[in-house]
Amino acid sequence: MTHRLPAWMLRDLSLPRLRRYIRAAQGDARAAQRLYWWNIEVAAALVGSLHCLELALRNALHGALVRHHGRPDWWTVAPLNARGRRLVDDARRACGRRRQRTTPDDMVAELTFGFWTSLLSSGYDRAFWVPVLHVAFPHYRGRRDHLYNDLTSLVLLRNRVMHHEPVHHRHLAADHDTIYRVLGYLSLELAEEARAMDRFPTVLAGRADVLDGARAPQF
C-alpha cells in the first residue's frame, strides 16, 4: 500500500470492511480512506429519494389491494405464495413484539420493500398484476417484467445503502434515474417535489474532487 490507514480506522471500522475499498483504490490506503467517506456521503444522498419511492410503492399497492379485496388486512385472503405468507408472518410477529394490538397500518409499515416488489413478480401475474396492481401505477403503460426488474435492482441498492455496504462501484447515475422513473409512474407530484430537494447530483458530480483530496466529504 502507498500509505497506511490510521490505527483508529482499522480498529473502529475493521479491516475486512475497509479491505474492499483498499482493493478499489489499488492498494492506496489514503485513496481508500477518501473513497470510504465518499461512499457514505453518496449513500446518504440516496436515502431521501429511496424513502419516497418505498413509501409511495407500498401505499399505492396497499391501497389498490384494499379496494380490490374490500378489507384493510387483504393479506389474510389474497393468494400469496409460501414466501409471501412467510414475510407476512414475520411482519406480524415483529409488530406483536412491540405492541399489544397490531393494526393493518402497522403491518403495512413493517412489510419490507422486497415484499412489495415481489407482488409484481411473474408468479403473481394473474393473481395481482392483471386484475388490480397495474392500476397502482397510473403513469406506466409498459410491461410488468420491466417494472419488476427496475424495482428489484432498487431493492438491492436500498439494502446496500441501509446496511452500510459499498455502492460506489454501481452505475449510480442510472440508479438515480431509475428511482425517479419508477417514482414518476406512481406519482408525478411526489417525484417533482423530491427531485427539487435532492442533493445526489451534486454529490455525484463532486466524487472526483473528494477522491483527489480537493474537497472533504460531508455527510
Query: Which cell numbers hold the place of 164?
Result: 452500510
Q: So what's the pLDDT on residue 100?
A: 79
Looking at the predicted structure, is the pLDDT value of residue 1 above 50? no
| Lowest mean per-residue pLDDT among 24-28, 147-151, 176-180 | 24-28
Treating both helix axes as pointing N-terminal to C-terminal, what angle do 144-162 and 29-69 enclose, rounded to 10 degrees? Answer: 130
pLDDT (tens digit per residue) in 82-116: 999 999 999 999 999 988 789 999 999 999 999 99
pLDDT (tens digit per residue) in 5-36: 999 999 999 999 999 999 999 999 999 999 99
> Looking at residues 187-198, what average pLDDT do you find?
98
Q: So what's the pLDDT on residue 4?
A: 86
Largest CA distance in the chain: 64
φ, ψ of residue 163 to 5 degrees: the values are -105, 15
Q: So what's the pLDDT on residue 2?
A: 45
Q: So what's the pLDDT on residue 198?
A: 98
Q: So what's the pLDDT on residue 174?
A: 98
Please report which confidence band the pLDDT of residue 3 belongs to, taking 50, 70 and 90 as the band edges: low
Looking at the predicted structure, is the pLDDT value of residue 118 above 80? yes
| DSSP output for the chain | --SPPPHHHHHHH-HHHHHHHHHHTTT-HHHHHHHHHHHHHHHHHHHHHHHHHHHHHHHHHHHHHHHHHTSTTGGGTS---HHHHHHHHHHHHHHHHH-SS--HHHHHHHS-HHHHHHTTSGGGIIIIITTTGGGG-TT--S-HHHHHHHHHHHHHHHHHHHTT---TTS-HHHHHHHHHHHHHHH-HHHHHHHHHH--HHHHHHTHHHHHHTSS----
